């Protein structure tokens, strides 16, 4: 369907049999949009039984197999090649879009300088939210975190499970860089960060917007709510940042991270200490500890990957 003169293709990538029901919910949320997309493309990442199941269940959709290497970047690139829309919107297989998701997204593209729009990602906890889990680290579970804008603002990059781009961004950049990003065996990320930096280096006047009213909910399983995953994801994020820096340079690759480390995290620690003292909340100190440990694990992942990269170059 044409909206504001633009057509929209929605791309959902999936790989796991364990997330079939979540994928059904993600698809249902797109089909229930107030503004219907031109097409919905479901990319199955190297799992033929899962492809057969969804190809059969949704004949009205484009259900295709990943044509590249295993992993999210190649799966998204497969969806991009199959898409026909002017705007390409991405939703994770374990996310649920609000009914007005596309309705709130499209008006931003009235501004020709806008090349990407992302929105707020709210955690949908499948278990009780851990009381030690700091909001500043909700990116660990793929969600918006404390410190992000509370109104429409320009950002460096959107969150991967709730983002959209003009088609020409991919024509210009060649798409997501394979070798960066998540696979079934690795909790890495940052593929959208690296893509957005390359796009803005190529188009300095380009705008990437964050709209907190353009919402999706991201389902957080019990496994991802645990300390083991928190540690694993922080280490993987540090490794991913090394790949981004190697690809685009440290100045652009770490600009947002510098503000996050210097402003957001100290404010989070101070807030937690205040809650422990004035609200007598003993878990607040655990959240402060979570900030310290999260930063430490991420730094260890980054430094370790940088040293490994230097050894390989030597």
**48-82: pLDDT as tens digits:** 999 999 999 999 999 999 999 999 999 999 999 99
Distances (CA, A) of 204 to 112, 155, 181, 259: 13, 13, 24, 21
Residue 1 pLDDT more than 50? no
Q: Which two tokens stand for residue 313?
A: 């170059």
d(CA 231, CA 297): 7
Residue 3 has pLDDT above 50, yes or no: no
Q: Which CATH architecture has domain 8-226?
A: Alpha-Beta Complex (3.90)
Report pLDDT for 245.
84
Q: Which two tokens stand for residue 82?
A: 């199959």
Q: Of 234-248, 257-271, 292-306, where does mean pLDDT reach its minimum?
A: 234-248
8 Å CB contact between 68 and 80: no
Give 253's pLDDT tier (boundaries 50, 70, 90).
Answer: low
Position 74 scores a pLDDT of: 95
Local structure of 249: helix, strand or coil: coil
- Sequence spans of domains, the chain: 8-226
> Side-chain half-sphere of 43: how many Cα atoms within 13 Å?
27
For residue 179, the model assigns a pLDDT of 73
pTM of the model: 0.92
Summarised one tens digit per residue, pLDDT across range 153-205 is 999 999 999 999 999 999 999 999 987 755 555 556 688 999 999 999 999 99
The phi and psi torsions of 168 (rounded to 5 degrees) equal -65, -15
Helices assigned H by DSSP within 166-278: 167-173, 191-202, 227-248, 250-253, 255-259, 265-278
Of all helices (H) and strands (E), which one includes residue 97?
strand 95-97
What burial class does residue 50 get, using C-beta atoms within 10 Å of its C-beta: 0-12 exposed, 13-18 middle, 19+ buried? buried
Give yes or no for a contact between 19 and 95, defined as CB atoms under 8 angstroms apart: no
| Per-residue pLDDT tens over the stretch 270-300 | 999 999 999 999 999 999 999 999 999 999 9
């Amino acid at each position: 369907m044409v909206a504001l003169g633009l057509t929209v293709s929605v791309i959902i990538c999936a790989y796991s049999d364990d997330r079939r029901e979540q994928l059904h919910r993600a698809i249902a949320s797109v089909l229930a949009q107030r503004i219907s997309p031109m097409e919905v493309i479901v990319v199955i990442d190297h799992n033929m039984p899962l492809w057969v199941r969804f190809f059969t269940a949704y004949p009205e959709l484009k259900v295709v197999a990943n044509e590249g290497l295993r992993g999210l970047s190649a799966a998204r690139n497969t969806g991009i090649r199959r898409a026909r829309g002017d705007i390409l919107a991405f939703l994770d297989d374990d996310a649920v879009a609000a009914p007005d998701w596309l309705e709130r997204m499209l008006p931003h593209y009235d501004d020709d300088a806008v090349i990407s729009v992302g929105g707020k990602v709210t955690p949908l906890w499948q278990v009780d939210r851990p009381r030690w889990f700091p909001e500043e680290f909700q990116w660990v579970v793929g969600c918006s975190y404390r410190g992000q804008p509370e109104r429409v603002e320009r950002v460096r990059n959107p969150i991967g499970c709730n983002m959209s781009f003009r088609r020409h961004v991919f024509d210009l950049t060649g798409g997501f860089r394979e070798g960066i990003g998540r696979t079934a065996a690795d909790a890495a990320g940052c593929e959208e960060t690296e893509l957005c930096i390359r796009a803005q280096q190529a188009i300095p006047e380009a705008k990437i917007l964050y709209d907190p009213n353009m919402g999706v909910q991201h389902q957080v399983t019990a496994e991802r709510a645990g300390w083991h995953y928190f540690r694993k994801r922080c280490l993987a994020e540090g490794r991913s940042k090394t790949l981004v820096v190697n690809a685009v340079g440290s100045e652009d690759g770490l600009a947002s991270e510098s503000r996050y480390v210097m402003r957001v995290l100290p404010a989070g620690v101070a807030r937690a200490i205040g809650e422990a003292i004035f609200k007598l909340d003993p878990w607040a100190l655990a959240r402060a500890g979570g900030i310290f440990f999260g930063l430490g694990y991420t730094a260890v992942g980054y430094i370790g990957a940088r040293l490994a990269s230097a050894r390989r170059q030597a």
